Amino acid sequence: VQLAYTYTSKTLAFVYPNYGYDYYQQPQSFLSLSGEQQVHKHFVLTAKLNNLLNTPTTIKIGSLVQSKDIYNLSFNIGFRYSL
């Protein structure tokens, strides 16, 4: 089992040269969980869950919100076979 946390601070997303207002992506936190379990001699069950905190991506110009994208939780489940 693996638990991963990622934090990204405020970053410059786009420079707007005409008016001097730059676009900044706001701080984000992401949490992911993955694991695998041997279910048979040759088979392993795998699972991965991403964006457990459901963190939106927000772009601002000063205090004005330019865009806010929400990606929601995503997951993958699968089997791996080895000889």
Distances from the Cα of 76 to the Cαs of 32, 35, 36, 46, 53, in angstroms?
12, 11, 12, 8, 17
Q: What is the pTM of this model?
A: 0.74
Count the domains in the chain: 1
pLDDT the model gives residue 11? 95
pLDDT the model gives residue 52? 95
Position 39, amino acid: V
Structural domain including 28 reads: 2-81
Compute the mean pLDDT over every residue in the chain, rounded to the nearest whole number.
Answer: 92
Cα(50)–Cα(76) distance, rounded to whole angstroms?
9
pLDDT the model gives residue 61? 86
Sheet of 11-14, strand order: 11-14, 23-25, 57-61, 64-69
Residues of the chain with pLDDT under 70: 20
Cα(12)–Cα(19) distance, rounded to whole angstroms?
16
